[in-house]
Structure 1
Amino acid sequence: MKRGLLLLISVLLIAVPCLFAQNIIQNGEFDDGETGWDGWIDGGSTNIVKSIDDTGVLSGPNSYKFEITEGSADVWRIQRNTLCPIELGHMYSVSFIGIADDSAQILVLFEENQDPWNKRLEEWVWLTPTKQSFEFIVNYSPVTDPTNHLKFQLGGTINNGKTIWLDSVVVRDIGTSMDIVVDAQRDPFYETLTGPDEGYLQLKSYAYNDNGIPAGDADLSAKMWFAWDEEWLYFYGEVKDDMISMTSANTYQNDGWEIKIDPEPTDSVANSVWATEMTALYEAGTAGHANGLADSSLMQTARRLTNDGYALECAIKWSAITQSGETIDPAVGNIFGAAVHVHDNDNTTGQRDASVAWAANLVDAVWNTPKYHGTVEFLADNKLKFIPTNNMTGQTNPVPYDGTPFYMRINAQKEPFYHQLTGPDDGYLQIKSYAFNDNGIPRGDADLSAQIWAAWDDEWFYLYQEVRDDTIAHTSADSYMNDCIELKIDPQPTDSTQQGPETWSGSASIWDTRLSAPVTAAAVSQDNLGNIPDSLKQWARRTIASPRGYALELAIHWSAIESGNGETIDVGEGNVFGLAINQHDNDGKGRQASISWGAVMLDNNWNRPKYLGTVQFLADNKLQFIPTNNMTGTTNPIPYDGTPFYMRIDGQKDPFYHRLTGPANGYLQLRSYAFNDNGAPDDDDDLSAKIWTAWDDDWFYLYQEVKDDIISGNATNVWENDCIELKFDPEPTDSTQGGTSIWDTRLTALGPDDEGVVSSDNLNNVADSLKHFVRRSMPGGYALELAINWSAIASGNGETVDVGEGNIFGLAINQHDNDGTAARVASVMWGAVMLDAAWNT
């Protein structure tokens, strides 16, 4: 984002004249020696000579000189103090001149001279060999204190061997006026405001409304200060905005500030709302730009760009704020209704994409609904109290405006905090369809996948998720058989107490809960964290139209999480607990698939603590998801960082393969009619195969489901047994035969430990580190899955496959059939020529 030069509009000085009183301390020029100055010096640990230097080092003939040989360990062991009484509500200017023969550090204090030693000013000052003047403003004093002292503390080892001079010490009472200048700079008065109860609002990114949600405080947040006197309402705001944009013709769709005011908040009439606005930038006569009221005698404005956004300031005459005959009576104790918006246009759509707001109800419709406004009360000393409660309805907005750094709103929307999470190491999981467990396999990410963001504070565990699910259903009487998220928690993952491998009584060490997807009219059952008392849970859900699915959000109070054996979570940075997450899918016929996060990808993590992963509490409300069991060290290798392509070699059809439609993208159906010269099967049940293939930079993948009514491995030669045989020509540009151009391998249907096996092959010519394979039986046949590292595929003449999009290699696939006769009786095949001689041709 380009930043421009300072831009000021209609600068107005609005101030009550200040009568700068005379110096209220004695002997600030040290013309009377040390009169009026005293203070403790620790003679036991310091070595110092103090004197009045009359050589005119600083402002006049005399200055206070300190020759420090030993400053001791603490700054407060050398003090020079003078009485400086202060009055309630007054502001003070403290100034002096200082110099040192080498860099030295001192502490300047306004401090009560008795227990509890309250400080009203505390400033560290560096002195150098160059004369410097210093001035500090002490904001409105909260008390009258006749014992207050101005103190210079000069101790500390940093000042060893140094000489310091002080002179022209002046303290002035600068009165009680606000002295506000409308110049887009923060005035000293605003520094005295401590929070919403005095007119200081911090609109963090979590104070969004229904216009959209910022990505974080840097994207959109604001600090606002308000004040008043009998004539004017004052506002100054500093906005963080990482992209300032004015691309809309509508002012309220651009970066800027809006205030809506209900002068008399005792009724609810849409036309009783008065409003004005200022955009971040302003060019007169330009569509989409706003600068408040046109009459500069009623409203004065200023703005400037900053390093991380912009600042706006204005003063509005109370007489200008009138609507439908209603006006505001600016007097202590009176009230008016108000709502404040800060809008954000990031130039992505040509209009605003987010807003933060202060009101009783965080919706944009405050512009015509007074019952959504908060309440503002006039206080003494020019302050305003911002009460986030509507004066008519009593509705209260619970969002904090005091700068609370972390806050979650449980409303099934992705909170700004979650945008900063980057992966499992700080609380963001992407559970793709390939992260299935033994409940069933999704057909792809659109069928079932999830993004999960998690966080914590001292009281709550937070989780928000967005789930892709093309059919949302609740047809089962058991909620865990329907679309839902299920959490399994082991509060103290240092043991493994369970009731037994098959019992339905659960594990004494595991606590669990679940939250159902948005419920349809035909729902049979649902779960709303049903085992948790209402006071210890919050949850929300919503459907997502595109891509089809739903969002769930929950907060669980840590005290609700207690296992059957009484274990609870020790909440705190560095501590851990066990966790497994199951995301279930019911497409209308009961649960048919689940995806999971944990150390072991099995559904019975519900009663096996040793199957759970580990979650560690991190600083800044983050959580680390470690897919390793804390007791066994078992680690789940599946990626949860959004890796788009991943294959699990487990003898199951991976979700990726559901995308393949035919030979043109990797899916072959070898019917019984695709026989070669080894013999023809009787029919598809005797021998046929479906084959799915894929690749990445490292691996060649293949999964097949074979129909074979008699599975046998009783032949001496492996290629005479039931198996798949692959013949590769890594560079199919020549025709060398006799085996030198062709590399082959095979995987038999049965392994060496299966009954009746005489010979078998487990991709035997491939090193263990370069292969993965799994076989399983299935009704009417078997399934084989394999992965071969491309580096293992090298022909006898040294050819290798050039792996990359657009490149090619030669291949023949033979599926052999041994029907128990100790010999091959048939084969089906894919290749250019349907002959077994593909092995050397």
Structure 2
Amino acid sequence: MFLLKRKKEKCTNSKEKIMKNALLLLLSIIVLSTGPIFALDITMDAERDDFYNALTGPADGYIYLSPASLGVGSGSGSPDDEFDCSGLVWFSWDSSYFYCYAEVTDELINVNSSTTYENDCIELKIDPDPLMESTSGVAAVRLTAWGEADAEVPDGVDNLIKGAELDEAWEPVEGEDYARKEVLTDTRYGYNLEFRLPFDVIVRAEKYVDVRIGGIMGLAVNLHDNDAGVRDFALRWGSDMDDTVWSDPQKHGTVTFLEGNKVNLSTANAITGVDTNSVDYTPPATGVATQPVQTPVQFELAQNYPNPFNPTTMINYSLAKAGHINVTIYSLSGQKVNTLVNEVQNSGVYSIPFDGSQLSSGVYLYQLQAGSQVFTRKMTLLR
């Protein structure tokens, strides 16, 4: 009887050991299939890192905030066009940080209000754990654009709300946790913003971020624009375009953490499954919106004449030296419409006709490229 009991115990222990080993094997397979979380080598310098150049759209963490993404209830104004305000925004992550990098086109940078969101700035609203299905507990962070040196504005990353669960406040360091710079080039006027948020400070109402491959968190993005001393409007990403994204997690989109430090950005809310946002956030093929900046007269792309036009107009430009020249017409969405010039030209003044009789009414971009120099202007076709 004693021997039989010992055999049964031994058999039971053996089965438990087999089941335990099988479970460990299954877990190891899951870990291997999802891959490890590598630390991301991102430099906080307000310049685009190579990692972001490989991203293609919302499915891997890259969105375009166009004038079509105008939020509701965030000011009385609206963008004139993408040169007034628009932005490309990239997101990434590793086991310690959530990263954000933005290239904003803004023809008038204003940072003159003591209320952060009334300035030109980017703002994130974060629901650390949507699976708790809470209707409160939103963390917030804002980073203002680079403004005048004497502007009385909050300095650095502002207003990251920390829960009572944290014993120490987070004190971000410029160049280590955030960076910002004004941008004035031949093709764009605006500013770049970059920052990283430690996951252990993204805490609200006892909600913590599930930092793992396959984990999720709620997110809303606001790009605020100030042209007259107060916020005129905000461009927005989320499941709802209403201004209540600042306090309501059920208006947020969903971030899913992927392998390779990438994230999936879905405008569907993780709590309700609802998505009332019909805006296309796919970045344009030409990248960030470009705009004309005054250049020396010897190298210039002039405004077309007449403008508006129907259906023909003249495009004039001058070249300071010989080189390969491209003059291309694009739609506002970045789709190439026509190539007018693609050849080597000598220095001098040129005038070329453009016939828009096959196009519908609207605003188009015409672009002059000469070597590394690119100039872009808008023209309006009225049929």
Secondary structure of the residue that 1:223 maps to in structure 2? Answer: strand
Structure 1 residue aligned with 2:183, among 306, 322, 328?
Answer: 306
Report what 2:316 is aligned to: none
Report what 1:253 is aligned to: 118
Alpha carbons 1:253, 1:351 under 8 Å: kept: yes
CA distance in 1: counterparts of 2:332 and 2:106, whole angstroms? 27
Kindly indicate whether structure 1 or structure 2 has the higher relative contact order, using CA contacts under 8 Å at least 6 residues apart.
2
Cα offset, 1:297, TM superposition: 7.0
Q: Deviations over 1:777-829 (max 9, x none)?
A: xxxxxxxxxxxxxxxxxxxxxxxxxxxxxxxxxxxxxxxxxxxxxxxxxxxxx
CA distance in 2: counterparts of 1:327 and 1:339, whole angstroms? 17
Secondary structure of the residue that 1:326 maps to in structure 2? Answer: coil
Report what 2:24 is aligned to: none
Q: Do residues 224 (structure 1) and 89 (structure 2) align?
A: yes
CA distance in 2: counterparts of 1:619 and 1:346, whole angstroms? 22
Q: Deviations over 1:437-456 (max 9, x none)?
A: xxxxxxxxxxxxxxxxxx99
Report what 1:368 is aligned to: 247
Alpha carbons 1:337, 1:375 under 8 Å: kept: yes
Structure 2 residue aligned with 1:295, among 171, 187, 197?
Answer: 171
Q: Do residues 200 (structure 1) and 62 (structure 2) align?
A: yes
Alpha carbons 1:199, 1:225 under 8 Å: kept: yes
- Write the mapping of 1:402-551 to structure 2, written as runs, cut at 5 A: 402-404=282-284, 425=310
Q: Do residues 183 (structure 1) and 59 (structure 2) align?
A: no
Alpha carbons 1:213, 1:354 under 8 Å: kept: yes
Alpha carbons 2:332, 2:363 under 8 Å: kept: no
CA distance in 2: counterparts of 1:355 and 1:290, whole angstroms? 21
Secondary structure of the residue that 2:236 maps to in structure 1? Answer: strand
CA distance in 1: counterparts of 2:361 and 2:84, whole angstroms? 27
Cα offset, 1:284, TM superposition: 10
AA paired with 2:140?
Answer: A
CA distance in 1: counterparts of 2:236 and 2:280, whole angstroms? 11
Q: Which has the larger radius of gyration?
A: 1
CA distance in 2: counterparts of 1:184 and 1:302, whole angstroms? 5
CA distance in 2: counterparts of 1:456 and 1:242, whole angstroms? 17
Alpha carbons 1:197, 1:386 under 8 Å: kept: yes
CA distance in 1: counterparts of 2:125 and 2:363, whole angstroms? 39
Report what 2:278 is aligned to: 398
Alpha carbons 2:250, 2:271 under 8 Å: kept: yes
CA distance in 2: counterparts of 1:617 and 1:282, whole angstroms? 38
Report what 1:328 is aligned to: 209
Cα offset, 1:243, TM superposition: 0.6
CA distance in 1: counterparts of 2:269 and 2:136, whole angstroms? 17
CA distance in 1: counterparts of 2:361 and 2:182, whole angstroms? 39
Q: Deviations over 1:180-224 (max 9, x none)?
A: 111111111111111111111111122111223211111101111
Alpha carbons 1:338, 1:376 under 8 Å: kept: yes
Cα offset, 1:618, TM superposition: 7.4
Task: Sort the Cα spacing of 1:284 and 1:323 in 2 relative to 1 into closer, same or farther, 3 A.
Answer: farther
AA paired with 1:208?
Answer: L
Task: Sort the Cα spacing of 1:284 and 1:230 in 2 relative to 1 into closer, same or farther, 3 A.
Answer: farther
Alpha carbons 2:220, 2:238 under 8 Å: kept: yes
Q: Do residues 343 (structure 1) and 232 (structure 2) align?
A: no
Q: Equivalent pairs: percent with the same residue?
A: 35
Alpha carbons 1:220, 1:344 under 8 Å: kept: yes
Task: Sort the Cα spacing of 1:617 and 1:240 in 2 relative to 1 into closer, same or farther, 3 A.
Answer: closer
CA distance in 2: counterparts of 1:326 and 1:367, whole angstroms? 17
Task: Sort the Cα spacing of 1:215 and 1:405 in 2 relative to 1 into closer, same or farther, 3 A.
Answer: farther
Alpha carbons 2:63, 2:282 under 8 Å: kept: yes
> Normalized per residue, which structure has more helix?
2
Secondary structure of the residue that 2:67 maps to in structure 1? Answer: coil
Structure 2 residue aligned with 1:386, among 265, 268, 275?
Answer: 265
Task: Sort the Cα spacing of 1:195 and 1:183 in 2 relative to 1 into closer, same or farther, 3 A.
Answer: same
CA distance in 1: counterparts of 2:45 and 2:244, whole angstroms? 31
AA paired with 1:354?
Answer: F
Alpha carbons 1:226, 1:235 under 8 Å: kept: yes
Secondary structure of the residue that 1:309 maps to in structure 2? Answer: strand
Alpha carbons 1:251, 1:288 under 8 Å: kept: yes
CA distance in 2: counterparts of 1:269 and 1:215, whole angstroms? 37
Task: Sort the Cα spacing of 1:239 and 1:297 in 2 relative to 1 into closer, same or farther, 3 A.
Answer: closer
Q: Deviations over 1:101-138 (max 9, x none)?
A: xxxxxxxxxxxxxxxxxxxxxxxxxxxxxxxxxxxxxx
Report what 2:164 is aligned to: none
For normalisation by structure 2, the TM-score amounts to 0.59
Alpha carbons 1:282, 1:291 under 8 Å: kept: no
CA distance in 2: counterparts of 1:252 and 1:618, whole angstroms? 33
**Structure 1 unaligned residues grouped into runs of 5+:** 1-175, 407-420, 427-454, 458-572, 577-615, 626-841
Report what 2:317 is aligned to: none
CA distance in 2: counterparts of 1:352 and 1:275, whole angstroms? 18
Cα RMSD after superposing both structures: 3.2
**Structure 2 unaligned residues grouped into runs of 5+:** 1-37, 161-169, 287-305, 312-330, 334-355, 366-379
AA paired with 2:283?
Answer: G
Structure 2 residue aligned with 1:316, among 181, 190, 197?
Answer: 197
Alpha carbons 2:111, 2:151 under 8 Å: kept: no
CA distance in 1: counterparts of 2:241 and 2:357, whole angstroms? 36
Query: How many matched pairs?
Result: 252
Task: Sort the Cα spacing of 1:355 and 1:290 in 2 relative to 1 into closer, same or farther, 3 A.
Answer: farther
Task: Sort the Cα spacing of 1:258 and 1:424 in 2 relative to 1 into closer, same or farther, 3 A.
Answer: same
Structure 2 residue aligned with 1:356, among 208, 228, 235?
Answer: 235
Alpha carbons 1:260, 1:339 under 8 Å: kept: yes
Alpha carbons 1:251, 1:290 under 8 Å: kept: no
Cα offset, 1:236, TM superposition: 1.0
Q: Deviations over 1:652-707 (max 9, x none)?
A: xxxxxxxxxxxxxxxxxxxxxxxxxxxxxxxxxxxxxxxxxxxxxxxxxxxxxxxx
CA distance in 2: counterparts of 1:285 and 1:306, whole angstroms? 19
CA distance in 1: counterparts of 2:232 and 2:363, whole angstroms? 30
CA distance in 2: counterparts of 1:345 and 1:378, whole angstroms? 33
Structure 1 residue aligned with 2:357, among 574, 580, 585?
Answer: 574
Q: Deviations over 1:48-94 (max 9, x none)?
A: xxxxxxxxxxxxxxxxxxxxxxxxxxxxxxxxxxxxxxxxxxxxxxx
CA distance in 1: counterparts of 2:265 and 2:46, whole angstroms? 22
Alpha carbons 1:260, 1:367 under 8 Å: kept: yes
Alpha carbons 1:575, 1:617 under 8 Å: kept: no
CA distance in 2: counterparts of 1:251 and 1:187, whole angstroms? 27
Secondary structure of the residue that 1:278 maps to in structure 2? Answer: strand
Cα offset, 1:392, TM superposition: 2.0
Task: Sort the Cα spacing of 1:177 and 1:371 in 2 relative to 1 into closer, same or farther, 3 A.
Answer: closer
Q: Deviations over 1:503-556 (max 9, x none)?
A: xxxxxxxxxxxxxxxxxxxxxxxxxxxxxxxxxxxxxxxxxxxxxxxxxxxxxx
Alpha carbons 2:39, 2:94 under 8 Å: kept: no
Report what 1:417 is aligned to: none
